[in-house]
Chain A
Amino acid sequence: MDVLSSLGAGLLHVFAPQDLSMLVLGLVIGMAVSIMPGLGLVMGVVLALPFTYRMQIEPAIILLTAIYVSGTYAGCFTAILYRIPGEPMDVPLLWDGYSMTQRGEAAKALGWALVAALTGGLISSAVMVALAIPFSNAALRFGPPEYFAAVFFGFTSIAALAGKSFVNAFISLLIGLWIATIGVDQTYSAQRFTFGMPVLMGGLPYVVILVGMYGLGELISRIGRGLPKIEKPPDERAVGTSFPSLLEIWKIRATFIRSSILGTILGIVPGAGATITSFISYGIEKQYGKRRDQLGKGVPEGIVAPQIGSTASVAGHMIPLLTLGLPGSGATAVILGAFLLHGVQPGPLLFTSPDSKIVVYSILASLFVGVIGMCLMGFFWIKVVVKVLTIPQPVLVAIVMVFCVVGAYADRNSMNDVWIIVVFGVLGFLFERFRFPIAPMVLGVILGPLAESSFIQTMVSYNNDWTIFLRHPISGTLIGLSIVALAYPVVREIMGRKSKADGYVLRPTIGGES
C-alpha cells in the first residue's frame, strides 16, 4: 500500500510542468537519436547530460530515463521500413519486420512493435516498482565485503557480456579501473599517476570521459567507416501504423509472456543491455516458439520478442541502479553520472528519507508515463523518421561533434576538459578500431572508486583476510555468480558454434553498450 501511495505521489510529480516537459523532451530526443544510424540512445543520453547541470535532480533523471526508454523503441521504424537498424538492438527486428514490409505489411509490423514496446515497458516497470523495496532492504544489509562482491559481479558480468572477446572486454574494464585511480587518493592524500599535472589532481571528470568515448570517439569512427548515404527519400504517405487485433495478440500470448519475463530478468543482470536482451529474446523464440520454423520469414513473433526484450530491459536496469547504485549498461552509467553530478549517491538510503523517496518514485512513475507517451508519439513518428533520414550525415555528425565538445566544456567551463575529451575521443576511436568494447571501461571508471574503497575497507576491517568475501553468505553468493559470469564466454562460444551450425547466429557483438 505504501508503494502504491508513493507511486501515486510520484505520478503527481511527473505531471508537474517541469517534469512533464523534460519527459516529453526526453521522449522526443530518444526517439530522434535512435532512428539515426550510429548515434543511438547512449549518445542521446550522453549529449543531454550537460543540459542537466543546472537542473534539479528529478527532472534531470526523468529527462535521461525518457531518452533511454524511448530509444529502445523508435529504432523499429528504420529497421522495419528501410532495413536500417538505428541501434544494434534493432537488428533482430529487421529480420522479420523487413520481410513483412516487403510483403506490403509494414503498417502491421509497426503496430506489432508498438504493442510489444507498450507491453514490455509496462510489465517490467510494474515488476521494478514491486522489487524496488525488497532490493533496497536487502541492500541495506550490505557491508564493504558485500558491496565489493556486488561491484565485482557487475564487472565480471559486463566483461563477459559486453563484447565478442572476453579478453578485450576485460582489458577495457581494467583500463577503466586504472583511469579511476588517477588523482589524489582520499585516504592517504597521495598523488597517483598525476604526472605532475595539476589538472589531474582531482581525477578525470567521468562525464567528459563518457562524452569522449561514447560521443566523439564513435563519431570519428563513423567518419572512418565512410558515412552512409540514403539513396532515395522514403515516402511517409505510403506507411501508417495498423494495430493487431486482440485475437491476434492472444494467439501469440506465450511470446508476450516469455519475452516480458526474460527482458525484465536479463535487465537486472549487469552488462545484459537492451541489445543482448533483444538478441536473446529472439533466440529463445527461435528455439521454443510455436512458429519457430517461420521466424525470419516475416512473422509477428520475430518483432514482438526482441522489441519486448529491449524495452523491458530498461526497467530491469533501473533496479540495481536505484537500489544499489550499480549501473548495468552504458545508459545507466550515464544516469548514475547525473545522480553523482547532483551530489546524490543512488542506493538503499534513497528509500529511507521522504524527500529522496519521492524523487525515486517520480522516476519510477515517469517510466510508466514515458512508455505510454512514446507509444502515442510512435503512432505519428513516421513523418519525423522521413525528415531525419534526409539530413546529410556529415553535417549531422559535425554538429553532434560540436555538442560533444561543448558538453565537455560546460561541466567546469574549462579548456582542460576540452583537451581531455579530445584525448578520450581518440581513445574511443582506437577502442573501436581494435575491437575493445567501451562499456566495460566506462563502468570501470565510474565504479572503480566504489570498488577500491569497499575493497580497502574490507581489508582494514578483516585484517587483510580476503577469504571474507567467500565466507559472508551474500558476498559469497555474488562471488559465485561472478564465477558463473566468467564461465559464460566459454559457454557462449560453444553455443555460438551450435547456432552457426543451425543456420542462424545469436551475436550481440556490440551488446552491452546500451
Chain B
Amino acid sequence: MLLRGKLRRSAAYAVILCCAVYLYYLAQHIEFEEVPGRVGPDAWPKIVLILLFATCVWQIGRIMIFGAPPAASADDELPLSAGEGDFTYLALLAIGVTVVYAYLLPILGFFVATVLYIAGIAYVGRYRRVVPLVLTSVIAPVALIFVFMKIVYVALPFGIGPFKDVTVVLLKVLGVH
C-alpha cells in the first residue's frame, strides 16, 4: 500500500490522537482540592483519554506497518438508502444552510427562518418543483408552530423588529396566546 494511502487512512485517527493529547493536558490542569489517598475528578477523564490515545496509536501503527484493512469496504455496506452516489458537497452545503438557520433563528423568528430553511434544504437535496416546494415550506412551519406552541407549549423564537410582527400576526391567526 502506498504511503499516501496509509497517511490518508490514518488521518482521522491522527486528529483524534491530537485531540486526546490536548485534552489530557487540560485534564492535568483540572483544579480541585486533593484528598490524600483518594482519586480526584481528573482520574476518570485521564483513564478515558489514555485509552483513546492508546487505541489511536494502535490503529495508526496497524495501518502504517501492516496496512490494516479498512473499517468497512464499500462492498461490505448494506444496500440501505444507498442513494445515488457521492454528493459530499451537498452535505457540506446542508451543514452551511443549517448553520445559517441557527444564526438567523433568533433574528428572523421561527416562521420566516424555517420557511427559508425548508426551501433551502429541499433545494440542496435537488428538489426543483417550485409550487410544492413553496407550499411545503410555508405549511410545515405553520403546522409546527401550531403543534409546539398550542399543544406542547414550547415558546419558539419570535424574531426581532418586523419579523417579530410577522410572528405575532401569525400566532393571532392560529389562536395561540
Q: Which residues of A contact B (CB under 8 A)?
A: 37-38, 50-51, 53-54, 85, 87-88, 91, 163-165, 167-168, 170-171, 174-175, 177-178, 181, 185, 187-193, 216, 219-229, 392-395, 397-399, 401-403, 405-406, 409-410, 413, 415, 418-419, 422, 425-426, 429, 434-435, 452, 455-456, 459-460, 463-464, 505, 507, 509-510
Contact = CB atoms under 8 A, between A and B. Distances in A.
B55 A170 contact: yes
B91 A395 contact: no
B122 A174 contact: no
A216 B127 CA distance: 19
A413 B110 CA distance: 12
A435 B71 contact: yes
Contacts of A54: 152-153
Contacts of B23: 178, 193
Which of B52, B80, B90: most chain A CB closer than 10 A? B80
Interface of B: 12-13, 16, 23, 26-27, 30-33, 37-45, 48-49, 51-52, 55-56, 58-59, 70-72, 76-88, 90-92, 94-95, 98-99, 101-102, 105-106, 110, 114, 117-127, 129, 132-133, 136, 140-141, 144, 148, 152-157
Given A91-B78, A225-B83, A464-B37, A192 B45 contact: yes
B44 A456 contact: yes
Nearest to B73: A164
A405 B154 contact: no
B121 A507 contact: no
Interface of A is mostly: helix
Contact of A509 (B44, B77, B152): B77
A171 B127 contact: no
A225 B126 contact: no
B80 A220 contact: no
B83 to A, nearest CB: 3
14 contacts: A163-B71, A164-B72, A174-B51, A193-B26, A229-B84, A394-B123, A395-B118, A395-B125, A402-B140, A406-B148, A409-B156, A509-B72, A509-B76, A510-B78
A269 to B, nearest CB: 21
Nearest to B125: A394
Contacts of A228: 81-84
A507 B75 CA distance: 11
Contacts of B45: 178, 181, 192-193
A167 B10 CA distance: 13
Contacts of B125: 223, 227, 393-395, 397-398
Given A192-B27, A224-B86, A434-B12, A395 B127 contact: yes
A509 B81 CA distance: 14
Contacts of B105: 405, 415, 418
B152 A410 contact: yes
Given A226-B83, A409-B154, A165 B144 contact: no
B41 A192 contact: yes
Contact of A224 (B37, B58, B72, B88): B88
A425 B76 CA distance: 25
Contacts of B114: 402
A226 B80 contact: no
A216 B155 CA distance: 22
A490 to B, nearest CB: 14
Contacts of B82: 225, 228
B39 A456 contact: yes
Contacts of B152: 50-51, 53-54, 410
Given A397-B122, A459-B38, 7 more contacts: A163-B72, A193-B45, A223-B94, A397-B121, A398-B140, A425-B98, A456-B43
